[in-house]
């Protein structure tokens, strides 16, 4: 399977709003921990190791511009 | 508040009423901005007498609202000013989004084919106001009962049960006026709202934006360029470059909260910023500058007995998405036909409650969209900024992240889903023309569909013949009978109004919103839906 990198979430603004609302009132440490849990939950849902590896690639820091 | 005029269109003149006991008017509009003038024009054209009171003698200087959306142009077309706006305006479709030095992506607003009007034009607000007043002068010449009084400032309002009493101050002293109906189009600081002690609650955004409109003959393309974390010196957290008519360019810098307003408005300082943005050797003049902060808020109800609020007096949004003037014009469009029928005794006063509920629904949508855009531009916490910048980094290489980039969701007309004037939506037609939606334009064999929906109830039949009354309870019902064989050379009418169905009957309100639709209907069903749309009976 190929990692989906085209728009795939209906109501993207609503999704973004909900995602950030999760962090309301959290400290930096709590937010980091929430993000880690969230990645693990989503990773489990995806399940496919190959797709997950493609996601790791997509999320790596972009190369520095020359 | 005093301001300089761009166009002196209605110089002060004393009127006989200043020396008389309070005269009663059917409709008085306070505020001669675009919303007040559009409402006056619409009401006057329908034959309802209307008096506009403005505290100045014309249109204020400053570009202010510059971005007018297709729905506004469609409404303006119905009012007679659409052509002048599109002729004068700058049509644009392409937007580019940058993060620092990097171009992330570009988008194209080019609408699908088959619309009379473009998705957006840029036009300085004073031109729009001038075109409206010119159209009012034409309507007056044709007998429309509209009166404009310049420099007649309303300083106090007392709302009685069935009228409002106004104190008006002029260079020749004060006088009193009574209004059966009062429409407050007097802006975000609305003196009418204040006089009535009504609240205006919402969220204040802690940010300052600097507008520098510059005149230059540079050959930048006619596109909207938006920078997050701009690379040029002192540009703040975001910047915008956008073209207007007359070689004017709107430049916008997001300066943050803790600034010295006076210092930032110093032309020398502004020019340093502009120079850094435009690069060396670009000649320009500062045309208009301003620093603004903003709030997102609305009144709880836009109707208080005989007093109605429209435009910024009723709701205020951040400018991202061009939802201020564009939503105000939809207020005018929604209000004028309802008030006209109520004044003429053809609809119950309760119809005006639907003005409040429909337009409050629109205001909530606009506030939600502009709040989200503002939160993206000005992340409200460290983690919000981490996510914001992650979205921007991903958007450069991956299409999925681009819909999350939010520099303003451009104004689209509101659909009145689930509200009380809606009648039956009796077939699986296209979603975009569902009950509550504004009609979508379509090219016909001659001209465009929206030009055939001229501000009265219309029964549109497509491939359907049916006997229909000329009027329901005294309210005229126009008939527009089309067939896809004869009138739909492009197929757009079928696609936008029939979908998979072979025929359809649409009942369309004077503001071009769909009131009800069926595959086929009889006169009884049409009459019942029209009474629902007039606020007379609940939907069947």
Q: Is residue A46 part of a domain?
A: yes
From the list B470, B450, B454, B487, the residue with the least C-alpha distance to B526 is: B470
Mean pLDDT value of segment B332-351 = 98
Which chain B residue shows the shortest CA-CA distance from A6? B400
In this prediction the ipTM stands at 0.94
Task: Read off the tokens for B9.
Answer: 């269109």
Rounded CA gap, B436 and B360, in Å?
A: 14
The reply to whether B85 and B45 lie within a common domain is yes
Residue contact A12–B396, C-beta within 8 A: no
Name the residue among B375, B396, B404 with its Cβ closest to that of A12: B404
Q: Is residue B481 part of a domain?
A: yes
Residue contact A7–B384, C-beta within 8 A: no
Q: Strand runs (DSSP E) across B131-280, as ranges?
A: 146-149, 153-159, 164-170, 173-184, 201-215, 224-228, 238-244, 248-256
B400 close contact with A: CB closer than 8 A? yes
Report whether B370 contacts B323 (CB < 8 A): yes
Instruction: Name the domain boundary from B335, B368, B401.
Output: B368
Rounded CA gap, A2 and B107, in Å?
A: 26
A chain contacts of residue B102, beta-carbon cutoff 8 Å: 65
Q: Is residue A20 part of a domain?
A: no
Instruction: Name the domain boundary from B333, B349, B368.
Output: B368
Q: Is residue B140 part of a domain?
A: yes
Instruction: Name the domain boundary from B245, B265, B295.
Output: B295
B431 close contact with A: CB closer than 8 A? no
The predicted structure's pLDDT at residue B380: 85
Rounded CA gap, B306 and B83, in Å?
A: 34
At what angle are helices B34-45 and B125-141 packed, to 10 degrees? Answer: 20
From the list B442, B444, B443, B436, the residue with the least C-alpha distance to B413 is: B436
The reply to whether B61 and B165 lie within a common domain is yes
8-state DSSP, B496: I
Q: Strand runs (DSSP E) across A1-66, as ranges?
A: none
Q: Is residue B409 part of a domain?
A: no
Report whether B450 contacts B74 (CB < 8 A): yes
Task: Read off the tokens for B124.
Answer: 């300085």
Rounded CA gap, B322 and B320, in Å?
A: 6
The reply to whether B194 and B253 lie within a common domain is no
The reply to whether B304 and B290 lie within a common domain is no
Rounded CA gap, B334 and B328, in Å?
A: 10
pLDDT tens-digit readout, B66-82: 899 999 999 999 999 99
Q: What are the residues whose beta carbons fall under 8 Å from the beta carbon of B378, sequence distance 6 or more?
A: B205, B206, B207, B237, B254
Mean pLDDT value of segment B20-38 = 97
Half-sphere exposure of B36 (CA within 13 A, CB side): 30
Mean pLDDT value of segment B474-481 = 96
CA quadruple B317, B322, B325, B331: dihedral, nearest 10? -80
Rounded CA gap, B345 and B354, in Å?
A: 17
8-state DSSP, B244: E
Task: Read off the tokens for B410.
Answer: 């451009």
Rounded CA gap, B20 and B70, in Å?
A: 45
B chain contacts of residue A24, beta-carbon cutoff 8 Å: 381
Percent of chain B topping pLDDT 70 = 99
The predicted structure's pLDDT at residue A65: 53
The predicted structure's pLDDT at residue B540: 54
- Domain with residue B54: its CATH number is 3.50.50.60
Name the residue among B102, B372, B409 with its Cβ closest to that of A17: B372
The reply to whether B451 and B520 lie within a common domain is yes
Distance of CA A15 to the CA centre of its chain: 12
From the list B420, B525, B438, the residue with the least C-alpha distance to B477 is: B525
The reply to whether B280 and B303 lie within a common domain is no
Number of domains in chain A: 1
Which of the four pLDDT bands, split at 50, 70 and 90, describes residue B294?
confident
The reply to whether B223 and B253 lie within a common domain is yes
Task: Read off the tokens for B159.
Answer: 């709302």
Residue contact B406–A13, C-beta within 8 A: yes
H or E element, residue B146: strand B146-149
Q: Which residue has the higher pLDDT, B187 or B380?
A: B187
Rounded CA gap, B118 and B155, in Å?
A: 40
Task: Read off the tokens for B419.
Answer: 């509200």
pLDDT tens-digit readout, B392-451: 999 999 999 999 999 888 888 899 999 999 999 999 999 999 999 999 999 999 999 999
Mean pLDDT value of segment B256-270 = 92
The reply to whether B212 and B74 lie within a common domain is no
Mean pLDDT value of segment B282-292 = 91
Q: Computed from CA positions of residues B374, B244, B260, B232, in that sequence, does the dihedral angle turn out positive or negative?
A: positive
Q: What share of chain B is helix, strand, coil (3-state, %, to 5)?
A: 30, 30, 40
Report whether B370 contacts B318 (CB < 8 A): yes
Residue contact B384–A26, C-beta within 8 A: no
From the list B41, B254, B49, the residue with the least C-alpha distance to B139 is: B41
From the list B42, B56, B74, the residue with the least C-alpha distance to B335 is: B42
Which of the four pLDDT bands, split at 50, 70 and 90, describes residue B110?
confident
Q: Is residue A53 part of a domain?
A: yes
Per-residue pLDDT for B1 more than 60? no
Q: Is residue B255 part of a domain?
A: yes
Domain of residue B455 covers 431-533
Number of domains in chain B: 3
Q: Is residue B390 part of a domain?
A: no
Q: Is residue B69 part of a domain?
A: yes
Percent of chain B topping pLDDT 90 = 82
The reply to whether B175 and B41 lie within a common domain is yes
Of B40-44, B92-96, B342-346, B442-446, the least confident:
B92-96
- Domain with residue B237: its CATH number is 3.30.9.10
The reply to whether B340 and B464 lie within a common domain is no
Which of the four pLDDT bands, split at 50, 70 and 90, describes residue B4?
confident
pLDDT tens-digit readout, B159-210: 999 999 999 999 999 999 999 999 999 999 999 999 999 999 998 888 899 9
Rounded CA gap, B185 and B190, in Å?
A: 8
Other beta carbons within 10 angstroms of residue B132's beta carbon come to 28
Q: Which residue has the higher pLDDT, B465 or B26?
A: B26
Q: How far is A40 from chain B (nearest CA, A)?
A: 17
Which of the four pLDDT bands, split at 50, 70 and 90, describes residue A66?
very low
The reply to whether B314 and B181 lie within a common domain is yes
B383 close contact with A: CB closer than 8 A? yes
Name the residue among A13, A31, A62 with its Cβ closest to that of B393: A62
Rounded CA gap, B186 and B154, in Å?
A: 10
Residue contact A4–B400, C-beta within 8 A: yes
Domain of residue A50 covers 29-57
Can you spell out the DSSP letters for B334-366?
HHHHHHHHHHTTSS-TTHHHHHHHHHHHHHHHH
From the list B119, B7, B131, the residue with the least C-alpha distance to B67 is: B119
B403 close contact with A: CB closer than 8 A? yes
CA dist B417 to B75, B300, B533, Å?
A: 20, 19, 14
The reply to whether B147 and B210 lie within a common domain is no
* Matching residue, tokens 């729009």: B128
Q: What is the mean pLDDT of chain B?
A: 94
A chain contacts of residue B393, beta-carbon cutoff 8 Å: 61-62
């Amino acid at each position: 399977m190929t990692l989906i990198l085209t728009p795939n979430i209906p109501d993207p603004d609503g999704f973004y709003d909900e995602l950030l609302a999760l962090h309301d009132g959290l400290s930096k440490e709590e937010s980091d921990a929430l993000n880690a849990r969230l990645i693990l939950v989503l990773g489990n849902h995806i399940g496919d190791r190959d797709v997950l590896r493609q996601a790791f690639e997509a999320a790596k820091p972009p190369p520095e511009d020359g | 508040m005093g301001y300089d005029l761009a166009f002196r269109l209605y110089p002060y003149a004393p009127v006989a009423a200043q020396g008389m006991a309070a005269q009663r008017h059917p409709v008085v509009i306070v505020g001669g901005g675009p919303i007040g003038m559009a409402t006056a024009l619409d009401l006057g054209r329908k034959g309802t007498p209307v008096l506009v009171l403005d505290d100045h003698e014309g249109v204020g200087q400053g570009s202010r609202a510059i971005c007018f959306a297709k729905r506004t142009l469609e409404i303006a077309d119905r009012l007679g000013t659409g052509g002048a706006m599109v002729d004068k305006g700058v049509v644009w479709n392409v937007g580019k989004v940058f993060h620092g030095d990097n171009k992330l992506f570009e988008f194209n607003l080019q609408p699908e084919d088959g619309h009379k009007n473009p998705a957006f034009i840029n036009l300085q607000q004073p031109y729009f106001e001038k075109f409206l007043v010119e159209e009012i002068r034409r309507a007056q010449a044709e007998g429309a009962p509209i009166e404009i009084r310049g420099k007649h400032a309303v300083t106090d309002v007392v709302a009685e049960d069935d009228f409002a009493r106004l104190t008006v101050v002029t260079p020749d002293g004060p006088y009193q006026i009574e209004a059966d109906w009062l429409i407050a189009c007097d802006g975000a600081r609305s003196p009418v709202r204040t006089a009535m002690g009504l609240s205006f609650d919402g969220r204040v955004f802690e940010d300052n934006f600097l507008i520098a409109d510059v005149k230059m003959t540079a050959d930048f393309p006619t596109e909207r360029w938006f920078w997050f974390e701009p690379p040029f010196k002192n540009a703040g957290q975001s910047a915008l470059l956008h073209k207007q008519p007359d070689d004017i360019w709107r430049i916008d810098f997001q300066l943050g909260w803790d600034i010295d307003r006076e210092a930032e408005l110093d032309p020398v300082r502004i020019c340093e910023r502009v120079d850094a943005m435009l690069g060396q050797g670009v000649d320009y003049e500062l045309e208009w500058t301003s620093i603004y902060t903003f709030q997102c808020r609305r009144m709880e109800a836009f109707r208080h007995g005989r007093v109605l609020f429209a435009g910024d007096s009723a709701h205020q949004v951040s400018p991202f998405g061009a939802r201020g003037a564009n939503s105000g014009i939809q207020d005018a469009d929604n209000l004028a036909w309802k008030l006209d029928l109520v004044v003429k005794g053809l609809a119950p006063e309760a119809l005006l409650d639907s003005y409040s509920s429909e337009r409050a629904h629109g205001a909530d949508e606009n506030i939600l969209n502009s709040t989200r855009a503002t939160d993206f531009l000005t992340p409200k916490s460290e983690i919000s900024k981490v996510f914001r910048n992650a979205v921007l980094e991903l958007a450069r290489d991956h299409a999925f992240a681009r819909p999350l980039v939010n520099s303003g969701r451009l104004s689209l007309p509101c659909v009145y889903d689930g509200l009380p004037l809606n009648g039956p939506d009796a077939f699986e037609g296209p979603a975009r023309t569902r009950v509550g939606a504004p009609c979508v334009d379509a090219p016909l064999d001659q001209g465009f569909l929206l030009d055939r929906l001229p501000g009265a109830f219309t029964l549109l039949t497509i491939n359907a013949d049916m006997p229909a009354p000329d009027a329901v309870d005294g309210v005229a019902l126009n008939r527009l009978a089309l067939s896809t064989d004869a009138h739909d050379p492009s197929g757009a009418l079928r696609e936008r109004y029939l979908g998979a169905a072979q025929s359809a009957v649409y009942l369309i309100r004077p503001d071009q919103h769909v009131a009800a639709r069926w595959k086929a209907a009889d006169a009884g069903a049409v009459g019942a839906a029209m009474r629902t749309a007039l606020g007379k009976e609940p939907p069947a």
